[in-house]
Structure 1
Amino acid sequence: MIARFVTKLRDEPISGRLFKNLKWIFSSQIIIGLLGLVYLTIAARALGAAGLGMLAILEAYARIVARLTHLEPWQAVIRHGSDALEQQDSHRFGRLIGLSVKLDLVGGLLAAAVVLLLAPLVKTHFGVNADWMPYAAALAVLFSLHATGISLLRLFDRFDILAKVDSGMAALRTALAGAVLFLGLGLPGFVAIFIGISLMQGALTYAAGVWEMRRKGHRIEMHGTSTSLSENPGFLRLMINSNLAVILRQTTQRLDVLILAVLVTPTAVGYYHLARRCGEAALRIGRPINQAVYPELTKLAVRREFDRLARLVKGIGLGFAGVLAVVLSGVIWFIDAIVIGLFGAEFAPAVPVVTIQAVAVGLYLIGIVLGPTLLSLGEDKALVRVGALTSALFFALIIPLTTLLGVSGAALSHLICNGVWLLLCVFLVRRSLRALKDQTT
């Protein structure tokens, strides 16, 4: 199955560029995933389950507010930027990037303002008893041009630069965590790491993207917002719908921690956070495919080469299914030894949560390319509807299942919703491709 997956990709004319990008992203994501586990091990041993739970609540609060208020334009920029570059319209491209910069700046300011506005709610309901923590969260989301930087680097196929920035930030975060542990700085030290890395990663990604843009002979044009919107019809719709799809999914991945903070103790939240972080490390195996393949899917869709698009998507999905069947069985077999060996005996109660979360992540990885596929086919509204349905299902399940099973119930909610999401996305991709093929014949 894996051999067939590789063969399908190599048979495509885009394989050279795609494999080059995948090489950089895969290597960086493996490094980041391993460093993330080292960081998590250090944080778990430095803070204990209760302290790790407090850190999880702060990070979840900052990120969910930023996700809801800062609409990232990178998907729309890649879609319309590809068209502008194809037509060699440098001024249109420069105005488009200028629009993206303005959206990023406004989004960061709005996110920080909402974080501060909701600070009393956080201290009252989520057990955050340090007055300074909401201000720390506001600072972490205040200035971010990360989305614009990502769109530029991906448009110009500079996944190597993006990989180096991300890997460097992961290495720095891990080194700082070791220093915080050695100096005994506790929770404030890890919060400072969260703020510093959030700001630095966004700034470096943006700087690298602008450098590459100028090297290609383009310049950012900050004027002409209305002109840019008229030149790129559907930009705002695509930006809103693509963000809504991500928001609906990530609210279940961020708001779950805040819901659990109300239902269970910080120690139990710490167990759940550990399971989620382990799952995120695994997701880094799949995200490279997602990131590298979206620009290629968009180009194939624009050219109406739907058979090639279908072969690419099917090959990736089958390849992931084969790999995961082998890897997941091995991980689950040794899960007790892995969790206790890495994080200590204090986290032994997290083993069932980690096991359920591993299966949930596996289901998502099998269909990770389906979201970008639907966006490239113009099915952004359908993707939003799927996200809304699965999010509603998650929020309907998490409280009763957590009440019944503890934090394992929250992980089980993710597993059920990921299964439903996978089935719906497969159905929508197949239906959309059939309809588009019929239109071309």
Structure 2
Amino acid sequence: MKNRAKTPFSRIIGNTSVLLTGRILNAICSFIYIPWTVRTLGLDGFGVMLLVTVYATLIADLTHLQSWQPLLHYGTSSFRQGRDRFFYNVLAFAVRADYLSGILGLVIGLVGIFAFGDMMGWPREIRPTAAWCMITLLFMNMSWSIGVMRLLNRFKLSTTFEFVATMVRTLGSFIGYELHCGVKFFIVMWCVSQVVQFICNTTMGIILVRRNVSSPFPWKELFLPSAPIPGAWKLMLGTSASQAIVSLLRPISTLIVGARLGAADAAIFRVAMQVTSALAKPATVLLPAMYPEFVRLRDEEDWSGLRATIFRILKAVGLFSVAVILVALLFGGPILDFMLHRHSAGGGVLIGILALSAMIDISIIPFEPLLTVIGHVGYVLRCKVATLVIDVPLLFAAMYLWGIDGAAIGSVVASMILFGLLGGRAAKLLFGRHDGAAMTAPVRRI
């Protein structure tokens, strides 16, 4: 009863606070393990390690099927109404999608290493280790368990497990620092941290399902679906492709910087992006907390409540984005120098440009969940494809003219394009008719 008395905005902020606490702890750990890694490997060695782990993360993001989306969209109402059979049908769909994406990621990752290793500027001696690292892709997609935790409002659990994985990486970095280990050791420890997080999330997902659903899970549902879920594949593929494009924009910048300017510049650019991302993190963690509430408001057809919630979120992120710019301009350069354990000429300018991109990204935050839950997934995807098509050639041109700063300028332009496209459509919905017809979701629910 107490939870029901809360407003959607207060629940979003409450869950965001939980997620933010975890991200702050993870950021603190990164201030520990990154300097240890840089001091042990040197900037060039650290850059090589980053190229491998960024590549693995990029492949995981590109092949990751957002199975938690159909789990929330199609499974929320059946779960709350106690229709276990329908809920298990959706849950099995999500589990199958996770493991399918993991296998696909492994295949693409291995092919990419041996086909494009030279183009990406990787030393030949590191490629066998990178190939073994790709096995980790089987464990990096945990959407179904994350979806269960979000459905049950158990955000603390996923945050805790993420922190456990970060602590594993921090401990591994300390061991590597003390024993003067090489690049391969630090890559292996990164892989171990991913596997640990997978084990924690999957185990808890199974426990939560057993505790909160009265009937046992029909395991044959994983292999022999009892009924199709109309629209589930379209929703999942649309949101997955949309997320893959966003995930592609930033890592591809790092890989291109590494290929054109060298591993050292790639390390500087990557760490600078991590600094600005950390500054913007309090706002970006709103995103996973918004989806469950937006779905609930949509299912209840509470359009006025949805509008009010979005307007409050926009006010909050607007104020926060200004704070991000100020902090980046004042402290961004020194933070970057500390992280790299060396002075980076022009680091303050680089941080400032990337902070501007982060500020624009923060302003976009409420638009994508709104458009997704009311059935405009296709439009969101088209906007992101257009942004990517424009941004990649622009990135090459800007890097040719301004070097590493050009890559940051490319990020700003991409953010501005996406803001204009998504913000324009969202404004039409929010400021349109007030009878709810303009915001009626075409998404079917079981």
Question: Is TM (by shorter chain) over 0.5?
Answer: yes
Is residue 392 of structure 2 the alignment partner of residue 404 of structure 1? no
Superposed, which structure 2 residues align to 1:289-308 within 5 Å? Answer: 289-308=286-305
Superposed, which structure 2 residues align to 1:26-425 within 5 Å? Answer: 26-129=20-123, 130-218=126-214, 219-224=216-221, 227=225, 230=228, 232-425=229-422
Contact persistence 1:57–1:261 (CA under 8 A): yes
What one-letter code is carried by the residue in structure 1 that aligns with 2:93? Answer: L
Q: Which residue of 2 is the match for residue 3 of structure 1? A: none
Please give the root-mean-square deviation of Cα atoms over the aligned residues, in Å. 2.3
How far residue 439 of structure 1 moved from its aligned partner, in angstroms, is: 5.4
Change (3 A) 1:145 1:272: closer
Indicate the larger mover: 288-297 or 328-337: 328-337
CA distance in 2 between counterparts of 1:410 and 1:44 reads 23
Change (3 A) 1:220 1:260: farther
How far residue 319 of structure 1 moved from its aligned partner, in angstroms, is: 0.9
Q: Which residue of 2 is the match for residue 7 of structure 1? A: none
Q: How many residues align structurally?
A: 431
Residues 108-139 of structure 1 show CA distances to partners (whole Å, capped at 9, x for unaligned) of 11211221222222322112222323323312
Contact persistence 2:103–2:138 (CA under 8 A): yes
CA distance in 1 between counterparts of 2:226 and 2:388 reads 33
Ranges in structure 1 where 5+ consecutive residues have no aligned partner: 1-9
CA distance in 1 between counterparts of 2:226 and 2:304 reads 33
What is the TM-score of this pair, normalised by structure 1?
Answer: 0.91
Contact persistence 1:339–1:348 (CA under 8 A): no
Q: Which residue of 1 is the match for residue 441 of structure 2? A: none
Aligned residue for 2:127, secondary structure, equals coil
Aligned residue for 1:334, secondary structure, equals helix
What one-letter code is carried by the residue in structure 1 that aligns with 2:287? Answer: N
Contact persistence 1:36–1:281 (CA under 8 A): no
CA distance in 2 between counterparts of 1:369 and 1:103 reads 26
Aligned residue for 1:124, secondary structure, equals coil
CA distance in 2 between counterparts of 1:16 and 1:439 reads 23
CA distance in 2 between counterparts of 1:386 and 1:12 reads 34
How far residue 36 of structure 1 moved from its aligned partner, in angstroms, is: 2.4
How far residue 184 of structure 1 moved from its aligned partner, in angstroms, is: 0.8
How far residue 346 of structure 1 moved from its aligned partner, in angstroms, is: 4.5
Ranges in structure 2 where 5+ consecutive residues have no aligned partner: 439-446
CA distance in 1 between counterparts of 2:227 and 2:388 reads 31
State the identity %: 19
Contact persistence 2:102–2:137 (CA under 8 A): yes
How far residue 402 of structure 1 moved from its aligned partner, in angstroms, is: 0.5
Runs of 4+ in 1 over 6 A off after TM superposition: none
